[in-house]
């Protein structure tokens, strides 16, 4: 949602797209401090290629970057996670691009839940209508993202364990 609050033609020179190692690994403010290059990080957790294409299309509506850096890891590891789509769909304004991404999301959704997946994108009450008994006070607190100055970069101090062995990592590498 922070991206949509940028001023139109706000002079992004380089944009980054891709999954979490982009989101957590490329800090636009550090890049600007060291090189003077204005960048924006459009990474998101487990970002599928369809989401990357959607974000690139949205970027080009108002920005004219000289370079777009796209991490293509998801061309080789296309695992569907609802959150990887919802983080973007839930914050994007309605457009033809959003409809196309919603159709892709619905086509990847588990078959038994397919009928409500597309409707739930545009009508959140439909998505959550059977969750009333699970709600807690935290569900009603507004999440405040005062991170506009980071230009899309997400700072995290948590450490996530790797579930692969050293042998597996070496084999993958």
| Pair 153, 41: CB distance under 8 Å | yes
| Pair 118, 106: CB distance under 8 Å | yes
10 pLDDT tier (thresholds 50, 70, 90): confident
Q: How far is the C-alpha of 32 from the C-alpha of 162, rounded, in Å?
A: 31
Query: Which of these, 62, 52, 68, lies nearest to 104 by C-alpha position?
Result: 52
158: alpha, beta or left? (left if phi > 0; alpha if psi -120 to 50): beta
Mean pLDDT value across residues 128-150: 61
23 pLDDT tier (thresholds 50, 70, 90): confident
* CA 71-82-105 angle, 5° bins: 80
Q: How far is the C-alpha of 78 from the C-alpha of 125, rounded, in Å?
A: 29
Residue environment code for 118-129, b if the CB has 16+ CB neighbours within 10 A, otherwise e: bebbeeeeebee
Task: Note if the pTM is more than 0.85.
Answer: no
Mean pLDDT value across residues 74-78: 80
| Pair 13, 67: CB distance under 8 Å | yes
52 pLDDT tier (thresholds 50, 70, 90): very high
13 pLDDT tier (thresholds 50, 70, 90): very high
In terms of Cβ atoms closer than 10 Å to its own Cβ (0-12, 13-18, 19+), residue 154 is middle
pLDDT higher at 134 or 34: 34
Q: How far is the C-alpha of 30 from the C-alpha of 150, rounded, in Å?
A: 9
pLDDT at position 96, please? Answer: 92
């Amino acid at each position: 949602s922070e991206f949509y609050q940028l001023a139109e033609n706000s002079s992004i020179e380089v944009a980054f797209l891709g999954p979490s190692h982009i989101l957590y690994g490329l800090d636009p403010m550090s890049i600007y401090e060291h090189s003077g290059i204005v960048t924006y990080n459009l990474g998101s957790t487990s970002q599928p290629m369809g989401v990357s294409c959607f974000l690139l299309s949205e970027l080009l509506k108002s920005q004219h970057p000289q370079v777009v850096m796209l991490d293509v890891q998801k061309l080789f590891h296309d695992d569907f996670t609802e959150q990887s789509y919802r983080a973007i769909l839930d914050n994007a304004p309605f457009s033809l691009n959003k409809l196309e991404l919603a159709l892709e999301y619905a086509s990847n959704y588990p078959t038994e839940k397919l009928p409500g997946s597309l409707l739930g994108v545009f009508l959140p009450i439909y998505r959550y209508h059977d969750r009333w008994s699970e709600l807690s006070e935290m569900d009603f607190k507004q999440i405040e993202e005062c991170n506009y100055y980071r230009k899309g970069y997400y700072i995290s101090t948590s450490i996530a364990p790797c579930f692969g062995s050293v042998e597996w990592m070496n084999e993958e590498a």
